[in-house]
Amino acid sequence: MTLTQGVRAEQSLSDDEVLALRADFPILETERLVYLDSGATSQKPRQVLDAERAYLERENAAVHRGAHTLAAEATERFEDARATVAGFIGADEDELVWTGNATAALNTVAYAIGNASTGRGGAEADRFRLRAGDEIVVTELEHHANLIPWQELAARTGATLRYVPIDDAGALRLDEAARIIGPATRVVAFSHVSNVLGGVAPVADLVALARAAGALTVLDACQSVPHLPVDVKALDVDFAAFSGHKMLGPTGIGGLYGRRELLNALPPFLTGGSMITTVTMERAEYLPAPQRFEAGTQPVAQAIGLAAAARYLDGVGMARVAAHEAELGALLAAGIADVDGVRLLGPGPGEPRIGLASFAVEGVHAHDVGQFLDDRGIAVRVGHHCAQPLHRRLGVTASTRASTALHTTRHEVELLLEGVRDAVDFFGVRA
């Protein structure tokens, strides 16, 4: 299966279409900036900036609290944004919880399961309870945000944390996954797309293994929702997390998808105002999902901005975005692999990947490579990308990552490749 299965080549964005899209991004108006760090945070089109600004200037009020007209209108806009973003990922609106970011979304699931493991939530929540002897399974590819919460949950509950290893090329070993995921497995958490390698996980295989074991599945969809058509119900996962700031939206907001019946059975994580029905001095009763996980003042302007981002991406067409970025990823992989003294990490040339590639220059620290490229106006990410175990497994301390978006041109990829070749010459690298 390819990244763009069912997408014809002619559906990719043309050069003229990409240039037209670039005109929507104010920060890209400077000719000196080649922005290849969308995997860390995306740039925002005017449509998103205008939507957030318009709300703050003319509609700002507390949602789900006031009885006055402005508050009612703000609440309607807030919930309309939820419906828009939920639809964008193939969920129902009551299955989308607003969070501060994807990290908060993943922690919400982990801590809610931890609360269930202490007996909170009653009989309905008992299905989530972890005990000594139970196992949580992650992968060696994970971003720290989808690793550390599960480490902590295992420590709190006495469960055992296990991981599916990768091979030398960075691909998950499904033979090992089949061996590790078994009767003791209660949770399987994995990334849809590696934020370092750009490869797409075999979601169907991992979900099937988890289902056979009776385990919950938690998908880190941070690098897939902005770049691929994602339908969480078609993927058949139980939970999924994504970030607004990686999909052309504002910072300070993310989303947690959860199956309705699971969200309503989980005990809440954060507690306080706006997520309750009745409170006495002795106890509280909680609203159904999604409000039961949305204590306190909500990121209203950010939700409205994120909905504008979802509409913008929908307007372009996610299949076309995926096809365009797959082409850029292929150019990156082939060009990087062709430079002597540079090691491409992850899928090799010709293998499916999103428009993202990480590489290591022999004998040169990634920070130095990044600085060399930055001097040319090329913005990339350097370091371990919040994935230290993965880098350790691949035998590198750090890497340089170039990541594209729908506004990235083929010319910008060529500028990056030219910069890498010049960096090799500048630092005197020999293969």
Active site (catalytic) residues? 386
Give the whole-angstrom CA distance, residue 188 versus residue 144.
15
What does each C-alpha distance from 257 to 243, 251, 253, 273 come to in angstroms? 12, 18, 13, 22
- The answer to whether the beta carbons of residues 198 and 354 sit under 8 Å apart is yes
DSSP letters spanning 51-91 = HHHHHHHHT---TTT--SHHHHHHHHHHHHHHHHHHHHTT-
- The answer to whether the beta carbons of residues 11 and 320 sit under 8 Å apart is yes
Burial 323-361 (b: 16+ CB within 10 A, else e): bbbbbbbbbbbebbeebebbbbbbbeeebbbbbbbbbbb
Coil, helix or strand at residue 255 = strand
CA-based end-to-end distance of the chain: 34
Which residue is listed with tokens 């033979």? 175
The CB density around residue 315, as the number of other CB atoms within 10 Å, is 8
Which residue is listed with tokens 């010049």? 422
Q: What angle do CA 251, 252, 255 make, to 5 degrees?
A: 100
